[in-house]
Amino acid sequence: MLEFDLSEPMNTFYYATQLPVMILKNGRIEQSLPENIVTARQLITGEPYLKIKYSPQEYNTAQYLSSEYKELFVVYVIDDTYLAAAGPFLTEPVRSGAIVNMIQDEKISIKLKPRLEEHYRNIKEISSQTYYYSGKLISMLFGAKNTAAIPESRPIGREVGFIQEYFQNTYKNREKMFTHPPFFLEKKIVNQIKICDMDGAMNTLREINLLNRAVLAKDPLRSLKNSIICSCAFFTRAVIDAGVFPDIAFTYSDTFIQQIEKMNSQTEVRNYEQEMLRQLIELTREKNSSKYSHPVFSALQYINNNLTQNLSLEEIAKHAYIHPNYLSSIFKKEVGCPMTDFIARRRIEESTYFVAYTDYEIADIASFYHFCNQSYYCTIFKRFLSVSPNEYRNSARPSC
């Protein structure tokens, strides 16, 4: 049992934000609003634990964290035993391709993919500002002075004051966002990224960095890392708008963030921001979509993001805002093969991971990638790779 009552701050946070909030004892969920909070870990393992890496000695401040399954949380350390946590939520959707990568990286059963897709569709998506200020609010509500053993000693209306301050600050910051110079500089650098203007983008980045950075953590290095990670997300969206396939761009982004987390000096982190920008502009040049018309590029983008979904010409054409017959004609002309062949090849290419590095049945892999049956999958696999799935699996594994 809890030694003190946390129902009031929980109620205040939940009903003010409509975001999930929970109290954890040694990692196990003790109380939550709503009552049944489901995380990806629970869905995969069935364990009632929230396992995210946080700093147990970091008191009196919110920690902004991500699980290994891309869910976001805000954690506040109450004492050596108890945590308050808000989440899970997202600041951008988790796409089908990201779920496939997650299944590969975390060795998750491919049979869980439909449930994971439903899980991520149901998680609330919030803005970066809301994510940040939810941390501010949870710090106010669950701070030591507000979780005393005798709740009655707290002044009536304290939580109301917190909520008012939270929304006042949110409003002020949103207001500043439309008048502060970086807003216009950000628009400028987006256009420079899209047209691959390396020199111009670097100059604009230097101009932005002459201004004061937002304080995103008490520790200066942690604050700077958080700021550069925000830049990474911003640059990534810009190159996607410029025509880079999302899965490729997000893979670059994940790699950059992993490198940032390993850095131990502010100088190293600052310099890396320019390196991220340089690499992403080079990627945009290499992957530029100019050789494809807009409808064909939209179709390619949709196909690559939905290889484990049911893909029909009509659905792809609808996404590309073009008649199916016309899309089929120009797709073959520009890509060099019929759309059905392109889809089949991409599915085979991606499925090779599961063939080589997992023990899943070939029939399950075929079903996962929407082949009508195992026999047809094996036929197409051999057509493109010149070996059967079993031969490919055996060749990928060392002999005893």
Confirm whether 319 is domain-assigned: yes
Q: How many residues does the chain have?
A: 400
Predicted TM-score (pTM) of this structure: 0.51
The 3-state DSSP class for residue 25 equals strand
DSSP conformation class of 145: G
Parallel, antiparallel, or unpaired: how do β-strands 28-33 and 82-89 relate?
Answer: unpaired
Question: pLDDT, tens digit, for every residue of 230-265?
Answer: 889 889 988 887 778 777 888 888 889 988 998 999
| DSSP, residue by residue, 356-377 | HH----HHHHHHHTT-S-HHHH
- Given 288, 315, 337, which residue is the final one in a domain? 288
- Structural domain boundaries, residue 326: 291-396
In sequence order, what E strands does the chain have?
A: 21-25, 28-33, 63-66, 72-77, 82-89
- What's the domain count of the chain? 3
Could you tell me if 67 and 61 are in contact, meaning their C-beta atoms sit under 8 angstroms apart? no
18 and 136 inside one domain:
yes
Predicted local confidence at residue 212, as pLDDT: 65
Confirm whether 2 is domain-assigned: no
Instruction: Tell me the C-alpha to C-alpha distance, in Å, between residue 224 and each of 101, 218, 273, 284, 335.
Output: 28, 10, 11, 26, 43
- Given 127, 142, 174, which residue is the final one in a domain? 174
121 and 201 inside one domain:
no
Instruction: Tell me the C-alpha to C-alpha distance, in Å, between residue 81 and each of 78, 310, 320, 368.
Output: 8, 47, 53, 42
Q: Which tokens is 6 given?
A: 């946390």
90 and 142 inside one domain:
yes
Angstrom distance (rounded) from CA 188 to CA 60: 38
- Given 288, 309, 343, which residue is the final one in a domain? 288
Confirm whether 1 is domain-assigned: no
- Spans of the chain, pLDDT less than 50: 1-2, 147-160, 162-164, 166-168, 170-182, 289
284 and 295 inside one domain:
no
Parallel, antiparallel, or unpaired: how do β-strands 72-77 and 63-66 relate?
Answer: antiparallel
Confirm whether 11 is domain-assigned: yes
Predicted local confidence at residue 15, as pLDDT: 87
Predicted local confidence at residue 19, as pLDDT: 92
